[in-house]
Structure 1
Amino acid sequence: MPPFDLSRRSLLLSGGAAALGAGLLGGASPASAASPASASASAPAPATATRPAPAAAAAAVTPAAALARLFAGNQRFVTGHARHPHQSLADLHALAAGQHPFAVTIGCADSRVPPELLFDQGLGDLFDNRVAGNIVDDLLLGSIEFAVEEFGSPLIVVLGHERCGAVKATIDAIKTGASAPGHIGTIVNALRPIVEPLLDHPGDVVDLAVRANVHAQAAQLTARSELLAEHVHAGDLRIVGARYDLDTGRVTLVG
């Protein structure tokens, strides 16, 4: 597909996103995930204090390198060697003129799962999208498409986590037949088709549902967005699912 030129950016930023997005819905298969071992093996050398110029930051990162960079950061976080990169006043000022995040995250709004901390990244590194249950609705999908088109981010990570409260609330609502109060019902209704088939499965139903939800939300990205599917097909975008362990701090890919 052609690059996101100035005219398309202007359309998106001037309120024409609906017109642009109307022709960008379609179907395709989700990207396959690599193993954590391969991601760790291909991890780039540790980052230094020197940050590439914002305009060149995203263009220099491939999907594989972006994934390795995230896993290298998570390894630092887990082992207590976090560097908290790109968080100085100099970084703040350099990024004031523009951003080029190297990865897009779709995570749960849970206060224990902030992507910049668990991946040991900083200002301008990640384009975060967080909502309870890491559910991809139309607004979130538009936000993700914007990041890929505007900033050229080569990686999307759908990040679920251990003992997800939104998933547990959905299981409880199904089992008890109770209605969730307020707009919490919207979350339950979105997760119900994913969670309900797993209720009779042996094992930890919450964790099974967390993993199933990661798969389902990742599949939604390319099934509902022709724009994202085209980038995946071209090889300049990769979509992976992952799970964060609350007890250890470790992120693993969901195969």
Structure 2
Amino acid sequence: MEGNRRWVSGNLDHPDRDPERRELVAEAQDPFGVVLSCIDSRVAPELIFDTGLGDLYVLRTGGQAIGPVVTGSVEYGPMTGGTPLVVVLGHQRCGAVEAAYKSLKAGKPLPGNLEALAKAMVPAYELTAKDPGADPVDTMTHHQIKVTADGLRSNADLGPLVEKGTLGVVGAYYSLDTGKVEVLTGAPA
């Protein structure tokens, strides 16, 4: 979170972004984290955490929607290289979550493969439908983050690493207005 504090303050280090680093990671990589975030162009994990080349595995899907291929990609770092941290990062005013929310509420499928995003968010929608709060899309975004992080934390392959204490799985929310990342679930004790 130190990198995010630098991002918020505008006092950036821009670490690991030089020819020497490129040469080093060309031989092997050892990222300290995996970030599953949204495809939104305003939410670039490498920037908002002030990281550089080879520091993070980054996966981006609409609304942090997850399925077998994405789950396998998240598992890659912790299972093959011992990457100690997974962050599920949602954000304020998420268009993918908004589209899924409206589609599911109206019972009208989204066109093409966009419907797969909505289907992946059904558990978050169902929680939101019970208590939508003042901003149902933001409520659903928070639920989507937590549902995804909880699912990764308890899955058959990552769960034992979490129980052993070698992996942390965190759900976090990015404010477009402030640039700040807030940890919602899975924060270390």
Please give the alpha-carbon distance, in whole angstroms, between the structure 1 residues aligned to 2:154 and 2:80: 21
How far did residue 207 of structure 1 move? 1.0
Correspondence 1:159 to 2:89: yes
Q: Residue 175 and residue 149 in structure 1: after superposition, are their counterparts in 2 closer, same or farther (change >3 A)?
A: closer
Contact kept? 1:171, 1:196, Cα under 8 Å: no
For residues 160 and 111 of structure 1, the distance between their equivalents in structure 2, rounded to whole angstroms, comes to 13
Distance in structure 1 (CA, Å) of the matches to 2:45 and 2:60: 9
What residue number does 2:76 align with? 146
CA distance in 1, matches of 2:124, 2:80: 31
1:74-113 pair list within 5 angstroms = 74-113=4-43
Structure 1 match to 2:102: 172
**Quick check: 1:174–1:196 contact (8 Å CA) kept in 2?**
no
Deviates more, 1:145-154 or 1:84-93: 145-154
Aligned twin of 1:182: 112
Higher relative contact order (CA 8 A, sep 6+): 1
- 1:178: Cα distance to partner? 2.4
Q: How many angstroms apart in 2 are the aligned matches of 1:151 and 1:205?
A: 38
Mapped to 1, the partners of 2:157 and 2:132 lie a distance apart of: 36
Using the TM superposition, give the Cα deviation of residue 223 of structure 1 relative to its aligned residue in structure 2, in angstroms: 3.2
- CA offset at residue 116 of structure 1? 0.5
1:167 touches 1:195 (CA, 8 Å); kept in 2? no
How far, CA to CA, are the matches of 1:72 and 1:204 in structure 2?
30
2-structure distance, mates of 1:76, 1:181: 40
Higher share of residues assigned strand: 2
SS of the residue corresponding to residue 254 of structure 1 reads strand
Of residues 171, 182, 203, the one that matches 2:134 is 203
Kept after mapping to 2: 8 A contact 1:156/1:240: yes
Q: How big is each residue's C-alpha offset from its partner over 1:141-176, in whole Å with a ceiling of 9 and x where there is no partner?
A: 111221112221101111010111111001111233
- What is the aligned length? 184
Query: For residues 44-55 of structure 1, what are the structure 2 equivalents within 5 Å?
Result: none
**Secondary structure, aligned partner of 2:14:** coil
Name the counterpart of 2:146: 215
Distance 2:122 2:152 in 1: 19
Q: Residue 101 of structure 1 aligns to which amino acid in structure 2?
A: P
Matches within 5 A, 1:55-74: 71-74=1-4
Identity %: 39
**Runs (5+) with no aligned partner, structure 2:** none
Give the CA RMSD over aligned residues.
Answer: 1.3
How far does the alpha carbon of each residue in 1:73-131 deviate from its partner, in whole angstroms, 9 at most, with x for none?
00001111111110001110111001000011111111111101000000010011111
Give the alignment partner of residue 131 of structure 1, picking from 58, 61, 65.
61
The structure having more radius of gyration, on CA atoms, is 1
SS in 1 for 2:64: coil
Per-residue deviation at 1:177? Answer: 2.9
Kept in 1, the 8 Å contact 2:66–2:120? The answer is: no
Q: What is the TM-score normalised by the length of structure 2?
A: 0.92
